């Protein structure tokens, strides 16, 4: 193979993300939500009445994936969907009271993880990590466009 596995920075990023997601999933699970459901409710809390497709964009998933998540959330009464009065083709989605409660319970637990990361670094280190990740992101996005 052209490149040694331990030189591939992508693996370090993936490992960090995987550990993070596993921890978040474990944290959120007792609150009765999956990570995608949590992400959807979180975005929904900040954008009441948003459409499913817009929500999908906010959560970085496809509209089809979001449809499944929303279906499950609606079945459990965490969200409500009603036709848009003017755009009959749009379904407005809103948090219900139980939905907001579930989100807050999950978020209380998820924030523990974020605080642990915050506590590991100095403010300078946090900024450095942010900046390096952002540059990595741009570099990958650039090469992806010209693929």
Partner DNA sequence: CCCAGGTTATCAAAGCTTTGATAACCATCA
Partner DNA sequence: TGATGGTTATCAAAGCTTTGATAACCTGGG
d(CA 141, CA 10) in angstroms, rounded, equals: 13
Q: What φ, ψ does residue 50 adopt, rounded to 5°? A: -65, 150
Q: Least distance from C-beta 41 to DNA, angstroms?
A: 11
Q: Least distance from C-beta 103 to its own copies, angstroms?
A: 8
101 binds its own copies (CB under 8 A): no
143 binds its own copies (CB under 8 A): yes
Structure tokens at 133: 């990740």
Among 37, 92, 97, which Cα is nearest to 68's? Answer: 37
10 to 5, 59, 115, 138: CA distances (angstroms) = 10, 22, 25, 14
d(CA 91, CA 87) in angstroms, rounded, equals: 8
47 binds DNA (CB under 7 A): no
83 pairs with which residues across the strands?
91
3-state class of 41 per DSSP? Answer: helix
For residue 100, the partner it binds in DNA, its own copies, none, with Cβ less than 5 to 8 A by kind, is none
Q: Least distance from C-beta 115 to its own copies, angstroms?
A: 8
Q: Which of 9-17, 45-53, 110-118, 132-140 is the region at the interface with DNA (rule: CB under 7 A)? A: 45-53
Q: Which of 67-75, 76-84, 86-94, 119-127 is the region at the interface with its own copies (rule: CB under 8 A)? A: 119-127
54 binds DNA (CB under 7 A): yes
Which residues contribute to the site for its own copies (CB under 8 A)?
1-3, 5, 7-10, 12-24, 26-27, 42, 45-46, 60, 103-104, 107-108, 111-121, 125-126, 128-130, 132-144, 147
């Amino acid at each position: 193979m052209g490149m040694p596995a331990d030189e591939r920075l992508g693996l370090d990023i993936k490992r960090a993300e995987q550990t993070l997601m596993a921890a978040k999933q474990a944290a959120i699970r007792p609150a009765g939500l999956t990570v995608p459901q949590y992400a959807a409710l979180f975005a929904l809390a900040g954008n009441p009445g948003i459409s499913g497709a817009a929500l999908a964009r906010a959560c970085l998933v496809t509209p089809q994936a979001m449809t499944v998540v929303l279906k499950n959330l609606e079945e459990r009464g965490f969200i409500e969907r009603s036709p848009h009065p003017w755009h009959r083709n749009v379904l407005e989605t809103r948090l219900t009271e139980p939905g907001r409660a579930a989100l807050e319970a999950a978020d209380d637990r998820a924030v523990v993880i974020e605080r642990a990361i915050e506590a590991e670094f100095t403010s300078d280190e946090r900024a450095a990590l942010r900046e390096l990740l952002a540059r990595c992101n741009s570099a990958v996005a650039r090469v992806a466009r010209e693929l």
